[in-house]
Amino acid sequence: MEHSLSSPLCAPLMNSDELNNISVIYESDGWESAALEAMKTYGALLVLGAFSAEECHTARAAFGRDLKRALEASPRTKYTNIKDTTQPIPSQCKAQRKQLLETADEDVPGQWPAATPVGPPGKGMATTLGLAHGEFAWGVRLSKQLRRIYSLLHATPAEEMCVGLDQPFFTAGSVGADGQPTGNTENAFWMHADQNKHAGLSGVLPSFQGVAYINASDTEQSSTTVLQLRSHNDGTYETLMDDPVMKSSKGHFGKVEAMSGEEQRAVLLQRAHEQARRVPAPAGSVLLWDSRTLHQGWQGGNRLAMPVVWEPSDRRDSKALARKLAAAMAAVPTTHWASLGVWHPMVRLGRQRLPHPECIPHQPQASILPVGLPSSWALAGGVTAGADAAAAASAVSAASATVSDCKAFTQGQEAAEYLATLACNAVKRSSPVHVHRLRAAVAALRAGASSAEVPQAGRAVPSTAGEEEKGHTTVKASRAVIELLSPLLQPEVAAAM
How would residue 175 be classed by pLDDT, with cut points 50, 70 and 90? low
Residue with the bigger pLDDT between 466 and 409: it is: 466
Mean pLDDT of 51-56: 97
Task: Please determine, for residue 191, whether its predicted confidence score (pLDDT) is greater than 50.
Answer: yes
The pLDDT of residue 100: 83
Residue spans per domain, the chain = 16-57+127-316, 319-496
Neighbours of 67 (CB within 10 A): 27
Task: Please determine, for residue 388, whether its predicted confidence score (pLDDT) is greater than 80.
Answer: no
**Tens of pLDDT, residues 315-325:** 999 999 999 99
Q: Cβ(287)–Cβ(210) under 8 Å?
A: yes
168-177, 224-233, 265-274, 289-298: the lowest-pLDDT one = 168-177
Among the ranges 23-37, 60-74, 251-265, which has the highest mean pLDDT value? 23-37
Go through the chain and tell me how many residues it has. Answer: 497
Class of domain 16-57+127-316: mainly beta
How would residue 176 be classed by pLDDT, with cut points 50, 70 and 90? low
Task: Please determine, for residue 427, whether its predicted confidence score (pLDDT) is greater than 60.
Answer: yes
The pLDDT of residue 4: 64
CA distances from 20 to 14, 23, 209, 302 (A): 10, 5, 20, 24
Mean pLDDT of 194-210: 94
Residue type, 260: S
14-20 long-range contacts, CB within 8 A, separation 24+: 14/277, 14/278, 14/279, 14/280, 18/229, 18/277, 19/46, 19/279, 19/280
230-234, 300-304, 336-340, 485-489: the lowest-pLDDT one = 485-489
Residue by residue, DSSP assigns 279-322 as --B-TT-EEEEETTS-EEEE--SBEEEEEE-EEEGGG--HHHHH
**Tens of pLDDT, residues 345-364:** 877 665 444 333 333 333 33
124-128, 260-264, 286-290: the lowest-pLDDT one = 124-128
Neighbours of 405 (CB within 10 A): 12
Task: Please determine, for residue 179, whether its predicted confidence score (pLDDT) is greater than 90.
Answer: no
Residue with the bigger pLDDT between 412 and 265: it is: 265
96-110, 266-280, 392-406, 411-425: the lowest-pLDDT one = 392-406
The pLDDT of residue 157: 97
The pLDDT of residue 445: 81
CA distances from 295 to 224, 318, 490 (A): 11, 31, 34
Task: Please determine, for residue 399, whether its predicted confidence score (pLDDT) is greater than 50.
Answer: no
How would residue 73 be classed by pLDDT, with cut points 50, 70 and 90? low
Mean pLDDT of 238-257: 94
173-177, 213-217, 247-251, 486-490: the lowest-pLDDT one = 173-177
